[in-house]
Structures are given as structure tokens and as C-alpha cells.
Structure 1
């Protein structure tokens, strides 16, 4: 596909570019510049032409998971916590925390307190078994 070919764009993307181009021209931007800006805007918003796979790096499922993770991290940030764990004082106080809910780093810390040998080479599930 030669550079500048718009055949891989969807009809919706083409309509959006035309609308943006008209808006720029109404503001006095020269026609060529308006067209270039319009397509740059469409490319930035949608990742380029979506037919034949160009500009698609993530599946919808991956995008959904990323959005969910981002929302979870934002909520934790609003509460003043690290997104991956609760506050350190809350973790220390709650002795009944499930081992499987703890991070590997927390498990390593607990294993060090109990003097478990070989803990640094253990995977999370091995640390849980050793601490149980």
C-alpha cells in the first residue's frame, strides 16, 4: 500500500477525517494542511487504518483488562494506598490475612521472620506451602 493510501481506513474514519478537515478549513487553515492535520488526528485517536490489522496491537479483551486494572489502581490511589497492596500498617495489623492474597514480597518477608531456608529461590506457591 503506497504512502497516503486511505483504502485501509473504515468509512467511519474517513467521515471523521472529512469533518475535522472542514473544521480546520473553517478556521482558515490551508486545504493541504487541514487534510494533513485531520488524518493525523484520526490516526492518533484510532491507531490508523483498522482494516488488515494495521494499528491493532491489543485485542479488545486485553484493552478491557487494562482499563479495569487502571480503574483499580486509580481507586487505590484515591484511598492513599499502593495499587498492589494495602498500607503497610494494615498488613501488619491483620494477622489473619490469607497467604494466597499476599504478594510474593510479603511472603518472603514473613518467611524471613520465620527463618525459612531457601526462601529467596521459592516461587509464590512454594512460599505459601512453607509458611502453612
Structure 2
């Protein structure tokens, strides 16, 4: 389903630039796929191949998927889950076993990175009690 949605995105871009020509050929065309990537979702890991577009006119037209951004590795719900667990008072060490079942071997790096950003965000909003 995700592949079909990306296909629609690319086709929409190509349709917008059908009038562009380069040497009496279509100016903006499909050009294969980016390397395969794996996205972590809340339920299952998904393998994604995003299409590439080539601009023959030199106008520097590029395709950037709205659905699968350039550096996306995890969907938002996993990051929100990590923040939620942290804010509920579970220490970093205690979150490891809980998240290992969700994230697999990557849990250790993901948790420490997210906890650090959560500490920074929460710490800036805490006021001393007077």
C-alpha cells in the first residue's frame, strides 16, 4: 500500500512537468529507486523502496516523498512511546527490557538518544517550587 502511495506521489510530480522537454524528450522522468530502507513502525518493520526522478532539463527538479522523508527510520508512534515511558518515571535501565521486545537489538541506542532529548525538553520546562 505504501508503494502505491509513493507511486501516486511520483506520478503527480511527473504530471506537473509534462510540458518540460529536453531534446524533444520528456524533461522529467522516472530513474529507478533509491536503496531499500527499513522503517520501524509500532507493529511491524516495513521495507520501502522510494522511486527516483531524473530532471533532464537542468532545472534541478527533485522528488522528495511526503510519506517517507529522507532520513525517516521510525514512525512517530514509537518515538512517542519512548517519551511516554520516560515521563511516567521509568528509568533508562528499566526501559531497555520493555522496549527490546518492540525494537529488537536497536533498543539500546534508540532509548538513550530519545531519553536525552526528552530530558532536555522536560528540563527546560521545569520550574523550581517556591
Normalising by structure 2, report the TM-score.
Answer: 0.26
More strand by percentage? 2
The structure showing larger relative contact order (alpha-carbon pairs under 8 Å, at least 6 residues apart) is 2
Normalising by structure 1, report the TM-score.
Answer: 0.26
The structure with more radius of gyration = 1
More helix by percentage? 1
